[in-house]
Amino acid sequence: MTRLSLLVLLLANAAAAETPRDFAFGIQLTTEADAPFYRVELPAAVYEGAVRPDRGDLRVFNTDEAMVPFAYLPAANPVREKRSPVSVPIFPLRVEQPDTDLNGLALSVSRTAAGTTLNLTARDGRPIVGERLAGYVLETSALEEPIAAMVLAWTPPAHGLTTRVRVEAGDDLANWRTLAGDAPLVDLEYAGHHLTRDRIELPPTKAKYLRLSWAPGQPPLELTAARVEAGERVIEAPRRWTEATGTPIAGHDGDYEFDLKGAFPIDRIGIDLPEINSVVPAQLYVRATAQEPWRPVAALVVYRLRQADAEVASSPTVVNSGNMRYWMLRVDPNSGGLGSGRPRIRAGWLPQELVFAARGGAPFTIAYGSSTAAPSALPIATLVPGYGTASAPSIGAATVQAGASTPLGGPDRLRKRVDGKRLLLWATLVLGVALLGWMAWRLSRQLAAAEPTQKPRAE
């Protein structure tokens, strides 16, 4: 029985083993340095040639045509970049009377070769010349990003500082909107300990000027410097873009179908309209195959306008559609349609990366395109011990060689056919079970025949 079981397992493994010729296409890889694992970014050809939308019909083989274990890397999270504070010019505001309100004063800026000057006047145009410090104006016009906070520096007062300030934003020095109405500032020292609060959080705001003031009864704040901070900026990985021209669907006015030629992981969709000065409300639909029904994925308004001798177009729309090859744009004909010409679609996607073990010799080959292959990728934490920690082994870089995809088993592997290996596997297993049953039956007959001769001897 032991020999028979071993024979069945060997035949089953031989029947189930895969070779590069079991897949339609292959891409040879170039590996750098010497590493136990390599990572590679899947090219567009894999998405166009794989049969399964989840790319489960993909394998990695070494130079001996033996399959090596591999895993897909999880999608990378967008990187959040925190910028350093930027110093900005400050202009003190001095008034004549202790109870003068800054809202009753007018401001103007004069720029010359010598520098920038801030002028403070009354509403009737009379210049204000005073000694009492009532506030500051910060010029922030050079910043392109919205302001999220300000950090102040001042001359430390002899007995410490505890005050509250008002922060306003404006673009013309005449109209102001409040960002922080009662922001605390603290600078205290006692028994060798120093307590400072010099940062004011603000709602993200884009403005040319910030005005800082305090109530007339509070002590003045002698600023020496001011810095502003922009909010965190999200940096996403660069996307690949695939384009296609729409084909009108017969019998459905305003419907255009797009074939992207592959099941790409689309997360951005841009629509290019054929005519200038067009505004079109539309809906997007998707499906994985040409036989499936359409499924709605987004409603959007697409435009293409001429403005100041330039064109302004709608930004790409964020979508969550999965790996879909076919797209449809539906335009209501009653809204005016698209005019003459056909629309184009721009589909943005982030290429997936895989990691494979460098077992055996190079070069390694990505094989894909099979109507019978089932998913075999491992979890990344299973493939790479300690993945995500400092003790994890190094992962080298692999790149796609020039020429990209080449035929292996050919396009016949893409069509569903009788799986000879699977039939052989099942036949082997059935044969093994039948042999085991026959041996069990024969053994039971032998035991039954020997039972009468053994009874008298026992008595």
For residue 308, the tally of other CB atoms under 10 A from its CB is 6
Q: How far apart are CA 264 and CA 262, in angstroms?
A: 6
For residues 63 and 171, state if they share a domain: no
In the block, tokens 């990691």 appear at 355
CB 20 within 8 A of CB 365: yes
Number of domains in the chain: 3
For residues 112 and 186, state if they share a domain: yes
In a domain, 113, yes or no: yes
Structure tokens at 228: 């502003």
In a domain, 263, yes or no: yes
Tell which of 414, 431, 451 closes a domain: 414
In a domain, 345, yes or no: yes
CATH number of the structural domain spanning residue 133: 2.60.120.260
In a domain, 55, yes or no: yes
Q: How far apart are CA 246 and CA 267, in angstroms?
A: 19
Domain span holding position 180: 86-234
In a domain, 449, yes or no: no
Tell which of 302, 329, 349 closes a domain: 349
Tell which of 302, 327, 349 closes a domain: 349
For residues 341 and 363, state if they share a domain: no
In a domain, 429, yes or no: no
- Which positions ≥6 away from 394 have C-beta within 8 Å? 35, 36, 37
Q: How far apart are CA 89 and CA 68, in angstroms?
A: 62
- Which pLDDT value is given to residue 11? 38
For residues 187 and 277, state if they share a domain: no
Per-residue tens of pLDDT for the chain, all 459 residues: 444 444 444 434 444 578 999 999 999 999 988 899 999 999 999 999 999 989 999 999 999 999 999 999 988 777 777 778 899 999 888 776 655 556 656 666 666 555 566 666 555 555 556 667 888 999 998 888 889 999 999 988 878 888 899 999 999 888 889 999 889 999 988 888 888 999 999 999 999 999 998 887 787 888 999 999 987 777 778 899 999 999 999 989 899 999 999 999 999 999 999 999 999 999 999 999 999 999 999 999 999 998 877 889 999 999 988 889 999 999 987 888 888 889 999 999 999 999 999 999 889 999 999 999 999 999 999 999 999 899 999 999 999 876 678 999 998 888 866 556 667 777 888 888 888 888 888 888 888 777 665 555 554
Q: Indicate the residue type of 301.
A: V
Closest CA to 24 of 373, 414, 377: 414
